[in-house]
Amino acid sequence: MRCAQASCRGSPDPKTSNQDAIMAPANCNGTGWPADVLIVEDDPIIAIDFEDRLLGFGVAAVRTVGSVTQALNAIAKRRPDFALLDVELIRETSFAIAERLIALKVPFVFVTGYGAEVRIPPGLAGRPRLQKPCSSEALEAALQARDT
């Protein structure tokens, strides 16, 4: 995991509960970009490409994980402002992560190399998707549309 994080929350307070950390908004970088993006991607080359582009856009912190368990743990430690979810991970899908993000009202985009044939459950089928490989313009548009 690589991270170029701006210090916008101040120093950690040991009296703050984990629940407060999950619910605390991190988007305080003033750039219009989410301050903290979680990438769930099992291909390290694709993950690094996304990280580099997001940091280049001005995203303050990018965290990358490769499994459902790692993603749920990362979300529990700190609620992201936005997430990119590879649909098909090794031997699992990212749908449980999507459900958790919906419960926390965190915007996300599914990222897939499979196109329209990928099977997404009906409750998640209307969520935005990016086709891999995606252009920087498409990625940028997904970040800008996150609040709509």
Q: What is the CATH number of the domain that holds 41?
A: 3.40.50.2300
Q: What is the pLDDT of residues 116-134, one digit of tens each?
A: 667 889 999 899 999 999 9
Domain residue limits at 114: 25-144
Answer yes or no: is 8 within a domain: no
Is residue 86 classed exposed, middle or buried when 0-12, 13-18 and 19+ CB atoms within 10 A define those classes? Answer: buried
Lowest mean per-residue pLDDT among 21-25, 54-58, 101-105, 135-139: 21-25
- Tell me which residue of 52, 118, 59 sits closest to 85, measured CA to CA: 118
Answer yes or no: is 54 within a domain: yes
Answer yes or no: is 20 within a domain: no
Answer yes or no: is 4 within a domain: no
Number of domains in the chain: 1
Answer yes or no: is 10 within a domain: no
Q: What is the pLDDT of residue 16?
A: 39
Answer yes or no: is 97 within a domain: yes
pTM as predicted: 0.78
Lowest mean per-residue pLDDT among 13-27, 43-57, 125-139: 13-27
Q: For the chain, what is the total number of helices (H) and then of strands (E)?
A: 5, 7
Answer yes or no: is 90 within a domain: yes
Answer yes or no: is 40 within a domain: yes
Q: Which amino acid is at 36?
A: D
Q: What is the pLDDT of residue 113?
A: 87
